[in-house]
Amino acid sequence: MNQQYVIGIDIGGTTSVVGLVDEQGHIVAERSFDTQSYAEPLLFVQAIRRGIEEMVTSADLQVRLCGIGVGAPNGNFYNGRIEYAPNMPWKGVVDLAGIMEEAMDMPVVLTNDANAAAVGEKRFGAAKGLDDFVVVTIGTGLGSGIVANGELIYGNTGFAGELGHTNTVRDGRECTCGRKGCLEAYVSARGLQATYNELRKECMVATPGQELPADGLSARAIYHAALQGDSMAIQAFEYTGMILGRHLADLVAINSPEVIFLFGGLAASGELLLQPTRKHLAENLLQVFKGRVRVELSTLEGKSAAVKGAAALAWEVLCVDEPAHEPT
Amino acid sequence: MNQQYVIGIDIGGTTSVVGLVDEQGHIVAERSFDTQSYAEPLLFVQAIRRGIEEMVTSADLQVRLCGIGVGAPNGNFYNGRIEYAPNMPWKGVVDLAGIMEEAMDMPVVLTNDANAAAVGEKRFGAAKGLDDFVVVTIGTGLGSGIVANGELIYGNTGFAGELGHTNTVRDGRECTCGRKGCLEAYVSARGLQATYNELRKECMVATPGQELPADGLSARAIYHAALQGDSMAIQAFEYTGMILGRHLADLVAINSPEVIFLFGGLAASGELLLQPTRKHLAENLLQVFKGRVRVELSTLEGKSAAVKGAAALAWEVLCVDEPAHEPT
């Protein structure tokens, strides 16, 4: 009998990755797509369809696909739509799951990337067996997938977990959402850059004439500077971890997770971010939660982590006691 | 056949109320106890046992009790214990459910008062049929019971929902928990009093010699002053609602409830608190949540609301497909 697989798709504003994934979370084959090249969602879906056909053919396996899981920015689990996602080539509300189901003749389930990461952590990662945990995705922006009582929280709207847009500094930095002081404006690649620039400006005032790095250092460059012992870069990470740690203390008071996993590009900075985050979380916890929550790096790290998350969602929702679908 | 009932117990630092409650949430009989009079939990439990026996006898009904639900400050659902509750005569960790089960020979389930309020709202109140909602209890302090995917969130520790101890003003007012700037320090009877006193002090500086109310006006007095048009009292309520509304916007971003119910003594101020809360919630919501969450007063208001909540918990946990227990 043919073995069951799913397709996991990680949709990003720049690149989208499609993987053929087995029940253990192994990615058997993978294809990347330049999201911005497709003016219409249907063209994008058709390209992905061809990619899937190629992967299934060249994988040289007896493949039965039971469905497609998609993680996408502003993806709504309830209706399968991408709603007003910034940085995407398709504006407004896009019924991506609908378009995909029709084009592929296969069930499609869609959610936002942070929720997919949480489902992936539970199925394939370190959250196996945990009923109460949170995955915080920190890359260009900040998102979260929250699991309570063993189930992901989508909320009434399907958009629960917008931790990046909760307030952390009243009337603070401007956020891409149009409001001020959101966590994402501080704890993200963009936030780290802003912090570094602020520190740089302070330093320029304090020591005029000093040789300083050019404006607009990337988060990656700040990371490498910190690794090389650059005190301003280290300070930028410490500030970022302080903001994150004390903010997570509030999340713990609300949902009381057992573990908070950090996931994504900025989380890959490892100890530089982890150490100050843990310190400031511990310092700010309400007594009753002290010693009862851990902060860890996601075990799904790596470039295919988001694909695994999307695949996990498909396994979770589409493959339980469902007849498998032949690839189209 | 005898009709099934449960006992609902609302434990407070000053007064505890015990009710005999039917499946529709009607309180058939009720007794009050002066919590502070009982130096030991066992004495308290014995008094309650006698109260229950009296109620069952005098109710003149064919009563079968299937269990006891208890709402208590710092009550832990997982182990039935009251852990380090301030304002209680019994210090440290008290295994109240255990003591009660032994004394009564009946199953006992215990949680904190805010969680009990949420279960009550779902079973007997306006949250019937809602899968995602929050009950915020605002009295001397502030607590919350959070329901997601139809289930109460207890979290890893059993203490989820400590919304009152999430930060709302960095380095703000001192809180009873020993930290600074907690929501409870602003949105509670105590918080309202502090706000009123701050406004009074500002006013004294601005208009020296003016006749002003004595220090230490109670929340109730501030409420009555506001009803009579006292501008400082109205301003105190507006400030309280502003803090609450903008803080709830963050809770919405995290859990995306359909309705947030306000419950308890300060919530009973009605429009005085509700109007500014709704206004500032709406102003601070992330775009995607606008128009998709409501703030309402709990429909369980009234002095027996907490007893109904505790009873609802018993119905929920102890009476489903369980054989009924005879009253002892």
DSSP of A243-289, one letter per residue?
HHHHHHHHHHHHH--SEEEEESTTGGGTHHHHHHHHHHHHHHS-GGG
Supply the Cα-derived Rg of chain A in whole angstroms: 21
Low-confidence ranges of chain B (pLDDT < 70): 1, 205-215, 320-328
| Residues of A whose CB is below 8 A from B83 | 288
B184 touches chain A (CB under 8 A): no
DSSP A182: B
* Closest by Cβ to A167, choosing from B84, B163, B250: B250
Q: β-pairing, A27-34 with A15-21?
A: antiparallel
* Closest by Cβ to B153, choosing from A170, A249, A255: A255
Q: How far is Cα A126 from Cα A252, in angstroms, rounded to an integer?
A: 19
Q: How far is Cα B293 from Cα A19, in angstroms, rounded to an integer?
A: 37
Nearest Cα of chain B lies from the Cα of A280 at a distance, in angstroms, of 14
| Residues of B whose CB is below 8 A from A144 | 254
* Closest by Cβ to A156, choosing from B74, B132, B179: B132
Q: Determine the residue type at B321.
A: D
CB contact under 8 A, A156 and B250: no
Give pLDDT, residue B304. Answer: 84
Q: How far is Cα A243 from Cα A252, in angstroms, rounded to an integer?
A: 15
B161 touches chain A (CB under 8 A): yes
Q: How far is Cα A310 from Cα A16, in angstroms, rounded to an integer?
A: 12
Rounded to a whole number, what is the distance in angstroms from the first to the last CA of chain B?
Answer: 18
Which has the closest alpha carbon to B78: A296, A134, A152, A256?
A256
Contact status, residue B186 vs residue B204, Cβ threshold 8 Å: no
Q: How far is Cα B117 from Cα B301, in angstroms, rounded to an integer?
A: 10
CB contact under 8 A, B179 and A286: yes
CB contact under 8 A, A155 and B256: yes
B255 touches chain A (CB under 8 A): yes
CA B321 remoteness from chain centre = 28
Q: Determine the residue type at B66.
A: C
Q: Counting beta carbons within 10 angstroms of the beta carbon of residue A43, is it exposed (0 to 12), middle (13 to 18) or buried (19 or more)?
A: exposed
Nearest Cα of chain B lies from the Cα of A250 at a distance, in angstroms, of 5
Q: How far is Cα A99 from Cα A110, in angstroms, rounded to an integer?
A: 12
Give pLDDT, residue B323. Answer: 47
Ramachandran region, residue A171 (left: φ > 0; alpha: ψ -120 to 50; beta: rest): left
Which of A82, A152, A255 best tests the B interface by mutation, with the highest count of B CBs <10 A? Answer: A255
Give pLDDT, residue B185. Answer: 97
B-proximal residues of A, 84-113, CB under 8 Å: 84
Q: How far is Cα A317 from Cα A321, in angstroms, rounded to an integer?
A: 10
Q: Counting beta carbons within 10 angstroms of the beta carbon of residue B321, is it exposed (0 to 12), middle (13 to 18) or buried (19 or more)?
A: exposed
Give pLDDT, residue B211. Answer: 56
β-bridge partners, B6? B21
Minimum CA–CA partner of B175 in chain A: A286
The tokens of B153 are what?
Answer: 């969130």
Low-confidence ranges of chain A (pLDDT < 70): 1, 205-215, 320-328
Q: Which helix or strand (DSSP H or E) is residue A117 part of?
A: helix A113-124
* Closest by Cβ to A253, choosing from B165, B170, B258: B165
B-proximal residues of A, 37-76, CB under 8 Å: 74
Give pLDDT, residue B321. Answer: 52
Q: β-pairing, B3-10 with B15-21?
A: antiparallel
pLDDT tens digits for range A35-93: 999 999 999 999 999 999 999 988 777 888 999 999 999 999 999 999 988 778 998 99
Q: Look up tokens 């000053």; give the residue.
A: B14
A129 touches chain B (CB under 8 A): no
Three-state secondary structure along chain B?
Answer: CCEEEEEEEECCCCEEEEEEECCCCCEEEEEEEEHHHCCCHHHHHHHHHHHHHHHHHHCCCCEEEEEEEEECCCEECCCCEEECCCCCCCCCEECHHHHHHHHHCCCEEEECHHHHHHHHHHHHCCCCCCCCEEEEEECCCEEEEEEECCEECCCCCCCCCCHHHCECCCCCCECCCCCECEHHHCCCHHHHHHHHHHHHHHHHHHCCCCCCCCCCCCHHHHHHHHHCCCHHHHHHHHHHHHHHHHHHHHHHHHHCCCEEEEECCCHHHCHHHHHHHHHHHHHHCCHHHCCCCEEEECCCCCCCHHHHHHHHHHHHHHCCCCCCECCC
Which of B255, B287, B290 best tests the A interface by mutation, with the highest count of A CBs <10 A? Answer: B255
B156 touches chain A (CB under 8 A): yes
| Residues of A whose CB is below 8 A from B147 | none
| Residues of B whose CB is below 8 A from A170 | 169-170
CB contact under 8 A, A288 and B153: no
CB contact under 8 A, B288 and A162: yes
Q: How far is Cα B305 from Cα B264, in angstroms, rounded to an integer?
A: 8
Nearest Cα of chain A lies from the Cα of B66 at a distance, in angstroms, of 26
Buried-state track A104-127, b at ≥16 Cβ within 10 A, e below 16: bebbbbbbbbbbbbbbbbbbbbbb
DSSP A213: P
Contact status, residue B273 vs residue B262, Cβ threshold 8 Å: yes
CB contact under 8 A, A153 and B178: no
Give pLDDT, residue B201. Answer: 86
The tokens of A319 are what?
Answer: 């493959």
Contact status, residue A173 vs residue A181, Cβ threshold 8 Å: yes
Give pLDDT, residue A223. Answer: 96
Question: What does pTM read for this prediction?
Answer: 0.92
